[in-house]
Structure 1
Amino acid sequence: MPTCVPIKAMKDTTRFVEVVNGAKEPVTVTRNGYDTLVVMTPEMYDGMRLDAARHRLYERLATAEAQRAAGDYVDGEAFLEGLLDHAR
């Protein structure tokens, strides 16, 4: 179940850090009943960044596979020749 605390709970920083560190997912901080902040441990943040990077990589791989299947690519030798021609 998500952890949600009012913004005034942040006044007791020691207790607030304990809540964040003990939560299994990011903690939502509310003000007047509305979401204001999301707080998480560095490990959670690093995991989210890794998941996002992995997602971008899989999207790029899927695009490359679709281009290869459609014949929309240049082989390695032709690519290097193009680079060399461009450099000359």
Structure 2
Amino acid sequence: MPRIMPIKDLKNTSNISEICHNADEPIYITKNGYGDMVLMSIELFEATQKKWNMYSDIELSEKQIKEGKTKDARKALSAVREKYGL
């Protein structure tokens, strides 16, 4: 379940840092009862960014498949083997 905190709780920065590092998901910050920001540790951000990059690569691959921009796997592997003497 996501953690939601009011912006006034950000005054205690040490506590917020500890909460971020102990959480395995982002912390949602509200202002006047509405969503305002998201906080997370650098480790969680980097892991999330890796997932976004992977999803982006998959999306690009699916687009290329739909457009017919594919190569025969055997021919591609054969070309790599020939190029690198494998």
**Normalization by structure 1: what TM-score?**
0.69
Percentage of identical aligned residues: 27
Change (3 A) 1:65 1:15: same
| 2:27 alignment partner in structure 1 | 27
- For structure 2, the residue ranges without an aligned partner over 5 or more in a row are 72-86
Residue-by-residue CA offset, 1:4-46 (whole Å, 9 max, x unaligned)? 1111111011111111111120001111111111001111111
Unaligned segments of structure 1, at least 5 residues: 75-88
Q: Give the total of aligned pairs.
A: 71
Alignment of 1:30-69 (within 5 A): 30-68=30-68
**Ranges of 4+ aligned residues in structure 1 off by more than 3 Å:** none
Question: TM-score under structure 2 normalisation?
Answer: 0.71
